[in-house]
Structure 1
Amino acid sequence: MNTNIQTIARQTIDIEMASIQGLKEFINDDFEKIIQAIHHTKGRLIVSGIGKSAIVAQKIVATLNSTGTPALFMHAADAIHGDLGMITPDDVVMLISKSGESPEIKVLIPLINNFGNLLIGMVGNMDSYLAQKANLVINTTVEREACPNNLAPTSSTTAQMVMGDVLAVCLMELNQFNNRDFARFHPGGNLGKRLYLRVEDLSENNQKPAVLPSASLKEVIVEITQNRLGVTAVVDENNSLIGIITDGDLRRMLEKTSDISAICASNILSPDPVTISPQAMAVEALDLIRKKDISQLVVAENGKYMGIIHLHDLIREGIV
């Protein structure tokens, strides 16, 4: 059998792309009512499903929670065995189903309606039991599955995922969910670190190499070597920043000078080093390091030396 794998792969993508494009037609007044209902509820959005739709429901819940809309996942099969207890009077419930006719969904619908909660159906069959009994409906009908037998949930689950993302993004806009909010909910991830981690959070863990302008060459070398940051600041008696000396400065000096006996820090320092405020975001430090093509920045405030932040610090924290 001579199967063209690449052709099959492209066809699958084309079919799913067409399914997603078709969803635009289902963004209507009812969809807007759904967004407003979820936005204004005093409770949470309870999302439920069975089979592959349950997996999609879990993803939608995770996305909503991380973007400022409180949500809970309730498996449709477990709901009738006790999990209905998670639904409070203020909650909105959304059931996800391609057919809208799954036995577990059909059992669940009248129970939720008896509770009096607003019921949203995300369904791919507008003639189904779910579509008829839900208060509001998100249409996720697809022309066909990408599966060659038109059976395995492929295009239909993609449509559900996309509509879930659409819900989340619309609610983010209504909630005015911004970068700071995102950082509060993602403090442990790399994305969150880019939004909340500050220069001082990293530099305060480093040594603070520093020498006076009168320091001998040996003292400069020892200070750089012991602190392992490839640099030392040159400061006055009041800790005011005068300049820096890097490994590169030492090498260039040795290339040009044969008599090093009288050399001191003031002879080899680089004045006006690139500095950054301790309150600046760590990602700003990364941008500055890249722009200047250097390995470290001097942390300073009001002319006072505060420490060093190194490229390695940013790499270690996943900022890069």
Structure 2
Amino acid sequence: MALAQRIEDRDEGQARAPAIASALRTIETEREGLACLMAAIGNGLGEPFAQAVARIGAARGRVICTGMGKSGHVARKIAATMASTGTPALYVHPAEASHGDLGMIQPDDVVLALSWSGETTELADIIGYTRRYRVGLVAITSNAASTLGREADTCLALPKAKEACPNGLAPTTSTAMQLALGDALAVALLEARGFSARDFSVFHPGGRLGASLRQVREVMHGGERLPLVALGTPMRAAVAEIDAKGFGSVLVVDDEGRLAGILTDGDVRRAIFSREGLEGLPVEAVMTHNPRTIAPETLLAKALQIQEAMKITALVVVDQDRPVGLVHYHDLLRTGVA
């Protein structure tokens, strides 16, 4: 039985080997294409790329992304990436544009048209429309001498590269290059606008990503739920406050309400074995001084990072050195961040 299993495993491994080799060849070929793209940006393509960023960034309207076939699918993704990172964008199907959707394109917009050959028939009406009504046109094509390349205000000419398809026909490396250049445009525009993680959260309220972009103030426990005692409070009373609020800790403040320390269940357990007369001691004799704090506007993703790195379950939320809240690891679990 063991021998039969080994033979079966060997046969399965031999059957998988061609697929694995194919995957490695595809990725290697596409990586070579991206390397060519990087070289091109450093040698000639960089200037029109900067012009495209400036043109789109200065536009008062939207980026109208368009393309047919595989280029159209890439254009849709570029539009989605731009829209989610602070550059208003939408996709217009070039064939539909010829039947009324040209009305979606306004004079303040910029058209970003993708066509590997630059001679895609369905793009003709959009190109003509942009020229007639002086709408900005940025082209991504491999043929700067094509109709699209010649008519564009800015032409981003992609370098020639071998397709990963063994027949050299299916768009593979070419679409990877288009997508990478589109991402580069979106990120350059994001950086030029100073688009922050907080801005990003406005467009990504759903799922785990949306949860991680929420702020600590949205989930922290504050007000009467906040476990607080003053310096000088006897340990018995401090432990009672821990039990009453149920967070496994109590915050200690000075006479002016500034954070002085934190007493945790762990502090109490350790003190039991090292001190006598624990109940009568003041809280500051046992508490942890200089606890880890965080600001109310901190993102939950950052709070999670700190808790996991420091191996702590709670963070004190402070505003001008005064505790205003407590965020527990369980709160992050409930929001879906952790």
TM-score (norm 1): 0.80
Q: Identify the residue that residue 54 of structure 1 maps to in structure 2.
A: 72
Amino acid aligned to 2:293: I
Q: Distance in 1 between matches of 2:242 and 2:154?
A: 68
Whether 2:27 is the aligned partner of 1:9: answer no
Amino acid aligned to 2:316: V
Q: 1:76 to 1:240 in 2, by over 3 A?
A: closer
Whether 2:147 is the aligned partner of 1:129: answer yes
Task: Name the count of aligned residue pairs.
Answer: 317
The 5-angstrom pairing of residues 19-34 of structure 1 reads 19-23=33-37, 24-25=39-40, 27-34=45-52
Contact 2:235 2:283 in 1 (8 A): no
Pairwise CA RMSD:
3.5
Deviation at residue 183 of structure 1 after TM alignment: 4.9
Q: 1:130 to 1:309 in 2, by over 3 A?
A: same
Deviation at residue 46 of structure 1 after TM alignment: 1.1
Q: Distance in 2 between matches of 1:231 and 1:243?
A: 11
Q: 1:27 to 1:222 in 2, by over 3 A?
A: same
Q: 1:50 to 1:313 in 2, by over 3 A?
A: same
Contact 1:45 1:93 in 2 (8 A): yes
Match of 1:276 among 293, 305, 308: 293
Q: Distance in 1 between matches of 2:107 and 2:318?
A: 55
Deviation at residue 238 of structure 1 after TM alignment: 6.8
Amino acid aligned to 2:219: L
Match of 2:219 among 179, 195, 202: 202
Q: Identify the residue that residue 94 of structure 1 maps to in structure 2.
A: 112
Q: Identify the residue that residue 97 of structure 2 maps to in structure 1.
A: 79
Q: 1:134 to 1:294 in 2, by over 3 A?
A: closer
Q: Identify the residue that residue 283 of structure 2 maps to in structure 1.
A: 266
Q: Distance in 1 between matches of 2:29 and 2:276?
A: 73
Deviation at residue 158 of structure 1 after TM alignment: 0.5
Percent identity over the alignment is: 36
TM-score (norm 2): 0.76
Q: Identify the residue that residue 330 of structure 2 maps to in structure 1.
A: 312
Gaps of 5+ in 1: none
Contact 1:46 1:87 in 2 (8 A): yes
Once the two structures are overlaid, the 10-residue window that deviates more, 286-295 or 166-175, is: 286-295
Deviation at residue 16 of structure 1 after TM alignment: 0.7
Q: Secondary structure at the match of 1:159?
A: helix
The 5-angstrom pairing of residues 133-212 of structure 1 reads 133-179=151-197, 181-183=199-201, 185-186=203-204, 197=215, 199-204=216-221, 207-211=225-229
Q: 1:135 to 1:256 in 2, by over 3 A?
A: closer
Amino acid aligned to 1:167: L
Amino acid aligned to 1:8: S
